[in-house]
Copies of this chain bind each other. A is one copy, B any other.
C-alpha cells in the first residue's frame, strides 16, 4: 500500500513525469520501495483521480506529450496520515535463504554467495559515495536532511549485513580455496 506514499515522498522532493518517477524507482527511492513502471503509471492515475497529485500535460511540437505531476495539499495530508501510522515488519521472501536452509549444491551456493557479495558491495559503494557527497558532516544535519540521511544509513547497514552474511557463508563452505 505504500507505493502511493513512496511516490508522494518523491514528488515532495521534486515534481516529475511518470517517466522521471520510473527512473527514480530504478535507484534512489527505488532502493526502499521497488515498483514497476506500470505500477507507477497506474498509481499516478489513481492518485490524480483521488486528488493527491495534480498532473499538467504539456503538448510539445515534435515530441510526445508529457504530464508533470506535483503533490497537492490533499497529498500532503495523506502523507501526514501515513507518517503517523506505525509500520510493520516487511515480509521477507528470500530464494537464497531457502536455498541455504535446504543446502544441496555447495558449489552453486558458493558461487551464489560470491555474486551476492559483489552485488551488496556495489550497492554499498553507491550508498557510501552518496553519504559522503550529501552528508559529509552527520553531526550537523539540517531538519530536512535527517530523514533521508537515516533512510540511507538503513541501506548502508543492510548492505553491510549482507556482506557479513556472505563472508560467513564463504568461510564455512569455501574451505578448499582459502
Contact = CB atoms under 8 A, between A and B. Distances in A.
A147 B101 contact: yes
Nearest to A104: B83
A48 interface: no
Contacts of A89: 116, 119
Contact of A86 (B5, B115, B153): B115
Given A83-B108, A108-B84, A112-B86, A92 B32 contact: yes
A161 B120 CA distance: 14
Copies in the complex: 2
B161 A97 contact: no
Interface residues of A, number: 66
Interface stretch (A53-61, A62-70, A126-134, A163-171): A163-171
Interface in A82-139: 82-105, 108-109, 111-112, 115-116, 119
A9 interface: yes
A29 interface: yes
Nearest to A152: B101
Interface in A141-178: 141, 146-151, 153-155, 157-158, 160-161, 164-165, 168-169, 172-173
Instruction: Among A80, A85, A90, A116, find the residue whose CB has the most chain B CB atoms closer than 10 A.
Output: A90
